[in-house]
Structure 1
Amino acid sequence: MQKLSRLPLFVLVLGFAGAMMMIPAAHAAASGLGDIAANFLFSGILLIVLTALLAIAASGMATPGPHGFSVLATMLGVFGVLPLALGIPLAMSLPDTGLFNAWWEMVSCVTTTGATLYAADMLAPPLHLWRSLVGWMGGLFILVSAVSILAPLKVGGFEILSSPYGRNERFQPLPESAGGRRQAPAHLVDPTRIATPSARSISAFMQVGPYYAGLTLVLWVVLLLAGDPGLIALSRAMGTLSTSGISPVAGAVGGHSGIIGELTVFLFLMLALSRRFWPGGNQLKASDSLWTDPEIRLGAGVVVLVAAILFARHFFATIEQATQGADITTGIVISFQNAAVATWGGLFNALSFLTTTGWNSVDWQGARNWSGLESPGLLLAGLAIMGGGVATTAGGVKLLRVYALGRQSQRELERIVHASSISGGGRMDRRIRGEGAYLAFIFFMLFAISIAMTVLLVSIRQIEFETAVMLSVSALTNTGPLANTIALSPSFESSAGIASNPWEGWSGLAALPKTVLAGAMIVGRLETLAILALFSPEFWRR
């Protein structure tokens, strides 16, 4: 373990990706797809050999220190360069797609965006499994890097709760007695104190990995028992925990498993609302109690509010129409049944898009028809922009930043009414309203500028404005299925091969818009503040 901690983090991730290629290779061999199995086997061996060579070359180098530029550049390399290696078996299995389209597909997967260039029924099952695995690995990397990389640098959402004085002000430990027990080493108590990024990442992986894999296995088994086929259940499980929304089939989540499968997925999606559900989330606890956690309360409130709006939109009008019929009792019962269906569809889709997963409920279409919602794209885009919890697999602006802006707005309104009032709530609440709201506002403005710049660059080609906006928001919020919520104008300027699906709005784009959108996925995943930190002179000092 000590030898691994001295290797560059990118080398460790490359070796892990090569080892994971053996899973689709075994699946393809068991399915009788020898050519695809050979592609994954040879690609995996190639990456493992390359990892060994890089490890030997790096063994004589000095141990890397906690340099900000290096670790952020590593994350940028994982999201931008590693997909080239991940796309090799996909490009070999689809000879007419090209390495560029394979790289784009892997960028979408590893950033947990879930957008795809291909039709679901045109890809072989091992390729679907590989897409799901890459999205699953991307979610795991985000959970690990949030604690091991972003937390020490105070970016990625950790800046909201971090002390501006460089010390922990939340808890003041009591002085130790002369005969007290010996304290454990600092690196065992707090993995962020370990010097090398690789050591911190390995420590965080040992904490998060078992929970992440175990929850995926539990969800897979439950979906299998609910009626989903094996590959679909596994892809749904991995897509839920990573919030990638990658699935081997098109359609709603409950297409096979019904309401039981959707309810189970709904419960597991709640893990993307707060980091405190995962190990290593102590630095992001804005409250000591789970029930008073601002992210959980805000997320639950938004989900319930959206469902309530859909419920109340036409409920009373429907009741009035039902009572005018001959059989009043039957009409009221049917109205309540439709209302229950619409409420569940609204609840599931609200949480799905709030966590940037992007899956639809089997009752979502019924909810739209019953409530009279003609264009849901704007509503779902707003949920995706808000995003899930900080340091989770969800994308978007993040709930904690929205909460900080809301608390600051509330405080300003209080000062208008009571100009001499003194804010309360404790040290943490005051920090959220003060420095936290200031940083959240900066991030929100940068996010809005990123959307405008992405739309502008995508619109250089002749693409309709609505299509450019929806594709840009989908990429920056890492919610690929969001583009399917409206009817996009198809583009036929390019092709990803015979398996491509230009009607989805992605595969038919030219090389320039595709490159811009891939960059937007990376920016949305790494976040704008972290990318701007790469250009800071402080991070360039050796």
Structure 2
Amino acid sequence: MLARILDLPVFLIFVILACSAMFIPAIHALTQEEFHVARSFFYSGLLGLILCALIGIAMSGRATHNTALEHLLALLAVFVILPVVLAVPFYEALRTTSFVNAYFEMVSSLTTTGATMFPNPSRLPSSLHLWRGIVGWSGGLLMWIAAAAILAPLNLGGFEVTTSAEPGQGGLRRVDMRAASPGQRLIRTTKRLFPIYAGLTLTLWLCLIIAGNTPLNGLMHAMATLSTSGISAIGGIEESTVGVPGEVLVFLFLLFALSRLTFSTDTITGRTRGLHEDAEFRIGLMLVVGVPMLLFMRHWLASFEVNEEENLRQALKALWGGMFTVLSFLTTTGFVSSEWEAAQGWSGLATPGMILMGLALMGGGVATTAGGVKLLRVFTLYLNGLREMQKLIHPSSVSGKGAHNRRVRRQGAYTAWIFFMLFALSLALVTLALTGFGASFSQALVMSVAALSTTGPLLDVAGAEPILLTDLSAAAKLCFAAATILGRLETLAIIALLTPELWRK
């Protein structure tokens, strides 16, 4: 039975998993005596599984084409078409919104963006919040798996700047990719990564409950942390009762989004020496410490007056609020610390939206759940700039990458620069499109950064006033949703789909 399911098209396998997951909020709604919500999820899941069974029977015996194009198309279909399936029970259960809004909500959750059409959490039943969290958590797991099973063999998603893209380095992985069917390869990677992903989520959930969170809120924040979706049932972790102890727990688990080496070495070629020599992790820690320290020091540089008796306590609050929020937006999670207002008051920056937008654009680690440009690409461009400055002084000098930078390929700066230009072009085009649909320039810019970096909470904190997505037209909502898919898959993957060579393989 399992072997036959694995022989089905990859997209159909994901639909089966999505329909099976609908029974979880159905059971939760039943325990909460929300019978209409329970029926909506139960019937949607049951009907979906029946349709998948009929399609599977009709396709039985047909040979599946095991090509690189099929893998990328399946991943694209998951982010574009699967949210239609996921939105059906959401739309039927809520009954007070349009299907476009429900589709947008599912796209935002599945891409781990976390932007919501429902800024007032009390409007949604708890089971619908749980469904949003499950979809976001599943989207994060999908990116963990797809990075190793789909993107790495094709040298996409950040791997184009690593040594695995060097000739001869990724050959074994590509042979393995063609030898196994898509379902077999995905299940093989899932067996390795799912226990880690689920175990980390369960551990954080239990720790948050011990810290004082309710079971539902603790689960939502645990899933939002590991998936970097920032989805919450109460409007963010700053609204919970756990305070700083809970934020410390979330802070520690957000470190997994700085580098894939924190949880796996399945996409790394050669011998690794630990996190202390990993460029992404070191840069991430430097930013987490450096940016809050600059905000902290600005208090004295700008000569702000604070009561001397409260200096130490206020300083510690400001420092922690800055560190947590910086790491949260660097990993594109978007949680705001409960002490972030203290950090703003200490530094004197009323609207530090540009800082948060810059952190989100930089993003987290390659092959993690974080979005953005990715730290490894930024590090590659930094190395290239440093080398060019050295050549200004010694034009004939010859230099290697060094023992600590062997993860970066020889042409890494060239490919990183191409991606950066494509990202900037995408940012300009999405901003132009959103302004054409009626948004102001400042709002369109914030929305474009939030979508392409998959950091939805930027809509609430980056500007002077929160941006309400409900005020947008249907066309603008769909444009924003398309931008989140582009930000999650990245421009190079879309271009690869249009490459004629892939169609011939």
- Scaled by the length of structure 2, the TM-score of the pair is 0.95
Does structure 1 residue 223 correspond to structure 2 residue 205? no
Which sits farther off after the overlay, 50-59 or 289-298? 50-59
Cα contact 1:478–1:525 (8 A) shared by 2: yes
- Tell me which residue corresponds to 1:494: none
Cα contact 1:387–1:398 (8 A) shared by 2: yes
Aligned partners of 1:164, 1:75: CA distance in 2, in Å? Answer: 21
- Call closer, same or farther: CA 1:367–1:408 in 2, change over 3 Å: same
SS of equivalent to 1:480: coil
CA shift at 1:169, angstroms? 8.8
Q: Which consecutive residues of structure 2, in runs of 5 or more, have no partner in the other structure?
A: none
Aligned partners of 1:101, 1:251: CA distance in 2, in Å? Answer: 21
CA shift at 1:318, angstroms? 5.8
CA shift at 1:332, angstroms? 4.3
Aligned partners of 2:474, 2:299: CA distance in 1, in Å? Answer: 45
Aligned partners of 1:215, 1:164: CA distance in 2, in Å? Answer: 30
Per-residue CA distance 1:121-140 (angstroms, 9 max, x = gap): 11100000000000001001
Give 2:273's aligned amino acid: D
- Tell me which residue corresponds to 1:505: 468
Give 2:76's aligned amino acid: L
- Tell me which residue corresponds to 2:143: 142
- Call closer, same or farther: CA 1:481–1:165 in 2, change over 3 Å: closer
CA shift at 1:8, angstroms? 1.1
Aligned partners of 2:240, 2:74: CA distance in 1, in Å? Answer: 40
Per-residue CA distance 1:10-34 (angstroms, 9 max, x = gap): 1111111111111100000000000
- Tell me which residue corresponds to 2:62: 61
Aligned partners of 1:305, 1:284: CA distance in 2, in Å? Answer: 31
Which sits farther off after the overlay, 370-379 or 479-488? 479-488
CA shift at 1:433, angstroms? 6.8
Q: Which consecutive residues of structure 1, in runs of 5 or more, have no partner in the other structure?
A: 171-185, 323-330, 490-502
Does structure 1 residue 462 correspond to structure 2 residue 438? yes
- Tell me which residue corresponds to 2:334: 358
Cα contact 1:253–1:261 (8 A) shared by 2: no
Question: Counterparts in 2 of 1:68-107, with a 5 A limit?
Answer: 68-107=68-107
- Tell me which residue corresponds to 1:111: 111
Aligned partners of 2:249, 2:83: CA distance in 1, in Å? Answer: 31
Aligned partners of 2:489, 2:130: CA distance in 1, in Å? Answer: 25
Does structure 1 residue 253 correspond to structure 2 residue 238? yes
SS of equivalent to 2:367: coil
Question: Counterparts in 2 of 1:141-180, with a 5 A limit?
Answer: 141-162=142-163, 166-168=167-169
SS of equivalent to 1:360: coil
- Aligned Cα root-mean-square deviation (Å): 2.3
- Tell me which residue corresponds to 1:177: none
Cα contact 2:112–2:136 (8 A) shared by 1: yes
CA shift at 1:340, angstroms? 1.1
Give 2:332's aligned amino acid: T
Cα contact 2:130–2:220 (8 A) shared by 1: yes
Which sits farther off after the overlay, 383-392 or 193-202? 193-202
- Call closer, same or farther: CA 1:382–1:34 in 2, change over 3 Å: same
**Residues paired across the two proteins, number:** 503
- Call closer, same or farther: CA 1:237–1:105 in 2, change over 3 Å: same
- Scaled by the length of structure 1, the TM-score of the pair is 0.88
Give 2:266's aligned amino acid: G
Give 2:59's aligned amino acid: A
- Tell me which residue corresponds to 1:400: 376
CA shift at 1:192, angstroms? 4.3
Cα contact 1:405–1:440 (8 A) shared by 2: yes
- Call closer, same or farther: CA 1:284–1:337 in 2, change over 3 Å: farther
Give 1:213's aligned amino acid: A
Aligned partners of 2:385, 2:409: CA distance in 1, in Å? Answer: 9
Give 1:198's aligned amino acid: G
- Tell me which residue corresponds to 2:37: 36
- Tell me which residue corresponds to 2:361: 385
Identity %: 45
SS of equivalent to 1:256: coil
Does structure 1 residue 26 correspond to structure 2 residue 27? yes
Give 2:479's aligned amino acid: V
Per-residue CA distance 1:198-242 (angstroms, 9 max, x = gap): 211110111111111111111111101111111111100000000
SS of equivalent to 1:281: coil
CA shift at 1:197, angstroms? 1.9
- Tell me which residue corresponds to 2:502: 539
Does structure 1 residue 302 correspond to structure 2 residue 287? yes
CA shift at 1:313, angstroms? 0.4
Give 1:528's aligned amino acid: T
